[in-house]
Amino acid sequence: MIFQKLNKIEEVVTESSAWEKIEDFLHLHINITDKISISTLDLIIVSFAIFITAIVLRVLFRIMTRRLPSEDKGKFKVIFGYFRWLIYVIIFLITLNSVGVNVTALFAASAALLIGIGLALQTLFQDIISGVFILIDQTVHVGDIIEIDDRVGRVEEIKLRTTRAVTIDNKVLVIPNHLYLTNLLYNWTQNGSITRESIDVGVAYGSDVELVKKLLIQAADMQKDVLKHPEPVVIFNNFGDSALDFKLVFTLNDSFKATFPKSDIRFTIDKLFRENNISIPFPQRDVHIYNK
């Protein structure tokens, strides 16, 4: 009996000694600076907080990218990775502060550096954030014809910072993504490749307006790129200062190359007007001189 009691006492002492060692290990402090000291328990809590954050971010990533195409999902994953590390740093500092570690000195030391970096990379972050918005809401797709800042191009590639488009002159148009947030964007083909185009023309006063209407529709019908449905129409716009103003409205299947069929239609209009004695007047003014 005596030996059994002694063994139990020895076990209790041993367990107590082990627990004290664990406590000593958990409260072991690492002095980074004179004002910043981190214990082993603090590191465990921070690690657990980052682990939970990683799980939440993974779930959030799956929710945000579930409707994105696989190619856009890969691009979004890259930028999401940058923000993930930023969130990890924020969670790390907040957790340290919550467990009693003084991070004020660390903030004070890095404040000037962070402000300088923020100002230098302001435009870069605007471009990247805009690129994320484009990927998420699918405002622009590869192959779309867009107009921004009076420039028209067919989108060839959408990156996180820039969008690359090719103009009708086969020139590469590099568009910083932040322009989508600050400028008015026209997407010519979001509703399909078919678009309505128009040509304005003026004829001399006294011209047969019914004949003018017939010739304009004939000019559109002679152009192979103009769709038959809906049919071309002619609008009598106004009685102008020097001419009767008409607008020929028609439909094209490829708006990106609209310049060429519109040019051909103008050639045809000029030819038909000459054959039918319809004149296109130039601007003119009457000057009256009075002698006193």
Domains, the chain, ordered by start: 2-111 (no CATH), 132-187 (2.30.30.60), 195-275 (3.30.70.100)
Strand partners, 249: 198, 233
- Taking the C-alpha atoms of residue 27 and residue 20, their distance in angstroms, rounded to an integer, is 10
Given pLDDT bands bounded at 50, 70 and 90, which one contains residue 47?
confident
pLDDT at 221: 92
Q: Which is nearest to 161 in space by CA: 180, 138, 186?
A: 180
pLDDT at 192: 67
Predicted confidence (pLDDT) per residue in 192-217, tens digit? 667 888 999 999 999 999 999 999 99
pLDDT at 105: 58
| pTM for the model | 0.53
pLDDT at 252 over 70: yes
Q: How far is CA 20 from the centre of its chain?
A: 58
- Taking the C-alpha atoms of residue 74 and residue 159, their distance in angstroms, rounded to an integer, is 11
Residue found under tokens 């529709």: 217
pLDDT at 5 over 80: no
39, containing H or E segment? strand 37-39
Per-residue pLDDT, averaged over 124-144, amounts to 76
Give the Cα-Cα-Cα angle 85, 88, 90 (nearest 5 degrees). 115
pLDDT at 124: 72
User: What percent of the chain clears pLDDT 90, i.e. is strictly above it?
Assistant: 21
pLDDT at 120 over 70: no
Q: Which is nearest to 178 in space by CA: 191, 155, 154, 159?
A: 159
